[in-house]
Amino acid sequence: MQRLAIGEELPSISEPMKNVDSSLLSLPSLVGSKGTLVIFTCNHCPYAEAWESRIALIGNEFQKLGIGVVAINSNDPKKYPIDGFEGMQERAQKLDLKFPYVVDSTSNVARAFGAKKTPEIFLFDKEQRLIYHGAVDDNLKAQSVKKHYLRSALTSLLDDKPTTENETKSVGCSIKYRN
């Protein structure tokens, strides 16, 4: 399974995914007019938990500005029951997510991206080309962040400027793929 490279197109997978509001969504329906932010995450991973408030804040903010935003849980809940649908609904409500948090019930969406971690960020421009991949920022602890990778990439995208860093190292738990 090869991860998407910078410049590659958003995968054309149209598999339906169940959102926390029980609607069915597909990746093509989530594309934004100015770009698309795809976040692979879950509920059990301490890394995902550490970044979840920042992800919620950034996703809620930039969705209002024309960026399509989706959080995707590709984990098998048999391995971690908290990653099940009810746990996702609770997490979305707790974080006041204004963007979809969907179940990748086959893990095929994660495989199409080559996603391996939670959290792992993929940001696409309006032409649906990957312009940023990696971490939210440079520190697990919010008060110690010095580099805001994702926010910088999103701001550059909206300002129609090139991103200064296209790729950073995703730090997190491995995705527990479904068979």
* Residue 52 near residue 96 (C-beta atoms within 8 A): no
pLDDT of residue 179: 84
Predicted confidence (pLDDT) at residue 1 exceeds the cutoff of 80: no
| Residue ranges of domains in the chain, CATH in brackets | 17-174 (3.40.30.10)
Where would I find the H helices in 38-138?
A: 46-63, 85-95, 108-113
Q: What DSSP element (H or E) covers 13?
A: none
Direct distance between the N- and C-terminal alpha carbons of the chain, in angstroms, rounded to an integer: 14
Burial of 132 (0-12, 13-18, 19+ CB in 10 A): buried
pLDDT of residue 34: 98
76-126 pLDDT, tens digit per residue, is 999 999 999 999 999 999 999 999 999 999 999 999 999 999 999 999 999
Calculate the average pLDDT of the chain: 96
